[in-house]
Structure 1
Amino acid sequence: MPTEVPSELPVGDPEVRKAQTFQTKTSEQVDLVDRLNKFSCWSRAVKAVARLIRRARKVKSCDLSSVSERQSAEQLIIKDMQSQTYGEEIKLLSKGHQLPKQNKLYHLDVFLDAEGVLKVGGRLSRSSFPNTFKHPTVIPQGHHVTSLIIAHHHERVKHQGKGFTINEIRSNGYWICGLSRAVATYIRHCVTCRRLRRPVESQKMSDLPVERTEPTPPFTYCGMDCFGPFWTKQGRKEEKRWRQVQYLTEQFWSRWKKEYLHSITARQCWHGTKRNLQVGDVVMDAEDTLPRSKWRLGTVTEVIQGKDGLVRRAKILFGEKELNHKGERTIRTSLERPVQKLVLLLEAV
């Protein structure tokens, strides 16, 4: 008869080896401002956070967010951004300590307001201006939210330039560290500003070709004869005249080498090396006969490099303004254009 095997092992059996298993659970914490990287508009980001706050408070209204809700959302975004960037400074100030002299915010005399927002102390506390003007909110440099704020106020001043944008930002209660450089960087990459004011592209002037630096017989590269026409016949008179022509030719090339060739050695313009145009760049074709607002947009499809590796010409694919019944551009034109006739609007990724 077969013996029955117990389905369960007795507790404390010396033949049984004990083993322990540990289960670890990892969770990635994403801050609020990190989620705002998907937004390219400051007002839309604020409205989205305002709706999240409304849902967190279990308000079921589907109406548009109010001004107070958007202000609360903006304050929440800035507090979260400040806690990421200025965490140590906020800890010191919350304990009543002063910032060390080597800290970047020391000269601003920063403080925490009643809501826990880091603001500039400054010297305007006795003025009659609003608190947002007297004590602007400190915004770190290089943050995505900072770029959204700069873009928002730059559009409000209708792309009028660096000075107008800086004044608009500060008058609305923001103190961005390194504001001048941050605004200049943003405007330099603003597509609308490039369409309005960016100059045409340039590239370092190339070396002279061989045909412009070596003596060659007439009519080799051009159709102008500097020494004739001369008719020659057999005889002493004609031979003497031919020798005179040879002498004048030798004198011409000698003076051309000594007096002219060195005058074109130096580059008169386009001295520095610039960024090469790349396939996929979006450009605007500068046409002298049309106003700037009528210049065509195109995409670089091919670049033509010189012997030095620099691009001075490129093939551009232009799309005509006429659309078919499906809203598609059916007529496309490909032209080869020098970089001096192109305005770069958007670099290829």
Structure 2
Amino acid sequence: MAAFSKEDLSKEIKLLDLEKDLLPIHQSLGLSWDLSTDNFVFHVDFAKKPNTRRGCLSMLHSIYDPLGFAGPLVINGKVILREITALYDWDDDIDPSFVCRWESWKDSVSSLQQVTVPRMYFTRSLSQSETVELHVFCDASEQAVSAVSYMRLPTETGIEVSFVFGKVKLAPLHGHTMPRLELCAALLAVDVAEIVNMHLNSKFTITKFYSDSMIVLGYINNQTRRFYNYVANRVERILRTSNTSQWNYVKSTENPADLGTRGLKSAQDLYHGWLRGPEFLYFNTETVNESFPLINPEQDKEIRVNANRTVVEDFNLTKNFEKFSSWDSLVSAITVLKIFIRQKKQNVSDLVTIRRDSELFIIKETQKTFFLDDMYCLQHKKLLPRDSPVLKLCPYLSEDGIMKIGGRLNLSVLPEELKNPIIIPKKSYVAKLLVQHFHEKSAHQGRHITEGAIRNNGYWIIGAKKLISAVIHKCVICRRLRGKFESQRMADLPPDRITPGPPFSAVGVDTFGPWTIVTRKTRGGQAESKRWAIMFTCLTTRAIHIELVESMSSSSFINALRRFIALRGNVSLFRSDRGTNFVGATEDLGIDVTRGPVKNYLEKSKIVWTFNAPHSSHMGGVWERMIGLTRRVLDTLLLGPKGKNLTHEVLSTLMAEVTAIINSRPITAVSKDPEVPFVLSPAMLLNQKISGHYSMCTDVDIRDIYKEQWKQVQVLSDLFWQQWKTHYLQNLQSRRKWTSEKVNLKVGDIVVIKDREAARCQWSIGLVEEVFPSADGLVRKACVRVVVNGKLCTYTRPISELIRLID
């Protein structure tokens, strides 16, 4: 120990008394070294982690095994983690089946504490050995790719074999056949050999590679066939480090790398093949170099088929124009070419002239492609065909060979480009570029202004109106500034709207207010407070119930719910706006029905609460309409002296009167037939009373009404539901708007999100991450990801607040 400096000694060694103390277990770079036995040992202590994807990843990475001693055990955990990654997010609880598999794997890894690996490769030093061999084995399966290396040392007493380095990694999931995976394993074997040679600094007398795939050995030994790039690149990489004579065939039963691809369930199994190596290495058996021909070369998809094909196509310069996205970029490219040609000829003119010549060149080539026959007739002074698209324009060829309009304005004082504009075919790509160019120059204005800009610059596009409209319709900036919001056919009514049942079994909830009331009068003035109203709308009968609350707190809301349920009976379903907070008159309400005391009360009462998408008030029209009617009636009642100095008692009375008025309204059309004076209203079912005479059901005897009071109530209830089915329900059949089916929004679409607090030009642009199809398969709301103040945010919005920019 005195031969080493104190800086080179670890803390345990500095305080160690070799004559009295036991040698400790020393850890270096994560490896545990038992100094007393000179063996590497494993120390496995999994920290308590949750059964989530994040927890499993943390436990898997806590195993430090740089030399691959436990590769066949660790690969099982990697396979399980890959399956978990495909199904769960980072902090989602995993399925019990995965938990069971994960715990079983942890138990198998914990048995590594019983495994010891000698630190010394052999009983003698490598520098004193004249013959040291390196043997590398490789294999692959659908789950893993493996390679393992061993050193072999012949001595006077026998042959010693020592584990050197092993590598096991997951195989790709898709797009790889078994021959390709076996080829990846062969490449991994070459990499393992390079790592061993680099770190041991030892010159091996013999280096051999083993594979149990005859197809891969045929690839490596091939001298005649050509492969596709995937196989060719990897074979070239393998032969760059090794040669064909080093590759040998080994049976799968004798291949230790096969254990890495299948995985082991017990640490004790490592001794039987992975750490020990194959049995034939311990004997003096010479392998004979063999030639491995290709297996079924005519059927192998990796072998490139030699075929020559010559295709002669007519040269069309205008097809190259489609590689440019704007008129300016196309003209600039042609201008650069013309400058280069003129420099070679030493005939360079000013840039403006060259650019104008480039524009005329592009137009001339376009006209030759679409108007070749017409230009031939004009050039040879012949009449144009009767079906010529330019016949009515009286075309002629200018000195530059450009076809222009003759027209009837030759005697006018207009500029030349307006009297004789250049003719552009509407089906050409150049016409589209010109429309885009002048549409942008006119600040993305409409069709008439864009068409005027095109004409004023001396171009006449045949059929320009349809082309301009099509370009404007696809213009992203125009869609953002003036595009229409998405719409979809009106959805079918939910079952709770069209199924008869007790009143207020399915209820829509919303709030409105507040109103200022006087709570106390004193000599110095009066104390004021605010009151809000919660409206409960029966989704079936369209009846309403209003409860006043003193504050928008959870306790006040629960009390209002309890009063409502005590008066109207149990409720099975609530519907409201907005998601976590349903909003009435204000934006800062504190009622949250998704957690806290409100959620607990709903769970105890066995009530289901369903939310509409945020910012989709039209989805709650059934109760929004009732709030509108209530406000109109209430405004009328508060117009007089009652509206001043309101008290809680007066406001409660007014709300009761408003409820009675709303519930007495007809929910079907009032008939003009004097024989049918009956009017269907929610109050008829709630109060079991109607005014005036009414016609009885055909299957009910009128005398039954006067027999018993309960029979009269039953008859009125049956009469209501019969009229409800016959008249009211049929009125809901037709769709008054949103009648046609539109193209659904899809994941990946680029949209603009409406923002009521910002100008339209400042609305955010987002990416559709998820869509929510209704029962009919049509999408009416979507989840959109946007960037707000440099942060990624996700919003759920109805399609009525989204503008599609790009499909």
The TM-score, its normalising length taken from structure 2, stands at 0.36
Q: Which residue of 2 aligns with 1:344?
A: 804
Q: Which residue of 2 aligns with 1:159?
A: 444
Alignment of 1:1-349 (within 5 A): 30-58=315-343, 66-222=351-507, 224=538, 225=568, 242-322=710-790, 331-347=791-807
Shift of 1:129: 1.6
- Asked if structure 1 preserves the Cα contact closer than 8 Å seen for 2:765 and 2:786, the reply is yes
- Asked if structure 2 preserves the Cα contact closer than 8 Å seen for 1:205 and 1:271, the reply is yes
Letter in 2 for 1:295: W
Pick closer, same or farther for the CA change 1:130–1:240 going to 2, 3 Å: same
Question: Cα RMSD (Å) of the superposition?
Answer: 2.6
Q: Which moved more, 1:32-41 or 1:155-164?
A: 32-41
- Measured in 1, the distance between the counterparts of 2:782 and 2:408 equals 56
Letter in 2 for 1:317: R
Shift of 1:81: 0.7
More strand by share: 2
Aligned residues: 308
Shift of 1:315: 1.7
Letter in 1 for 2:730: H
Shift of 1:250: 1.9
Letter in 1 for 2:430: V
- Asked if structure 2 preserves the Cα contact closer than 8 Å seen for 1:137 and 1:175, the reply is yes
- Measured in 2, the distance between the counterparts of 1:281 and 1:332 equals 17
Shift of 1:252: 2.1
Letter in 2 for 1:308: D
Pick closer, same or farther for the CA change 1:94–1:70 going to 2, 3 Å: same
Pick closer, same or farther for the CA change 1:38–1:133 going to 2, 3 Å: same
Pick closer, same or farther for the CA change 1:26–1:273 going to 2, 3 Å: closer
Higher relative contact order by CA 8 Å / sep ≥ 6: 1 or 2?
1
Letter in 2 for 1:119: K
Task: After superposition, give the CA deviation of every residue in 1:306-328 in whole Å (9 maximum; x if it has no partner).
Answer: 23322212221122232xxxxxx
Shift of 1:90: 1.0
Q: Which residue of 2 aligns with 1:326?
A: none
- Measured in 2, the distance between the counterparts of 1:60 and 1:208 equals 78
SS in 2 for 1:58: helix
Q: Which moved more, 1:221-230 or 1:288-297?
A: 221-230
Shift of 1:59: 5.4
Letter in 1 for 2:767: T
SS in 1 for 2:506: coil
Question: Percent identity of the aligned residues?
Answer: 35
Pick closer, same or farther for the CA change 1:259–1:24 going to 2, 3 Å: closer
- Measured in 2, the distance between the counterparts of 1:53 and 1:30 equals 20
- Measured in 2, the distance between the counterparts of 1:175 and 1:93 equals 18
- Measured in 2, the distance between the counterparts of 1:279 and 1:250 equals 49
SS in 2 for 1:298: strand
Letter in 1 for 2:411: R
Pick closer, same or farther for the CA change 1:208–1:64 going to 2, 3 Å: farther
- Measured in 1, the distance between the counterparts of 2:345 and 2:437 equals 29
- Measured in 2, the distance between the counterparts of 1:60 and 1:343 equals 54
Structure 2 residues not aligned, in runs of 5+: 1-307, 508-535, 539-567, 569-681, 689-706
- Measured in 1, the distance between the counterparts of 2:350 and 2:438 equals 21
- Measured in 2, the distance between the counterparts of 1:200 and 1:65 equals 49
- Asked if structure 1 preserves the Cα contact closer than 8 Å seen for 2:318 and 2:369, the reply is no
- Asked if structure 1 preserves the Cα contact closer than 8 Å seen for 2:486 and 2:800, the reply is yes
Shift of 1:105: 1.2
Pick closer, same or farther for the CA change 1:307–1:210 going to 2, 3 Å: same
- Asked if structure 1 preserves the Cα contact closer than 8 Å seen for 2:503 and 2:686, the reply is no
- Measured in 2, the distance between the counterparts of 1:268 and 1:65 equals 65
Shift of 1:300: 1.1
Structure 1 residues not aligned, in runs of 5+: 1-22, 231-238, 323-330
Q: Which moved more, 1:196-205 or 1:71-80?
A: 196-205
The TM-score, its normalising length taken from structure 1, stands at 0.81
Q: Which moved more, 1:41-50 or 1:285-294?
A: 285-294
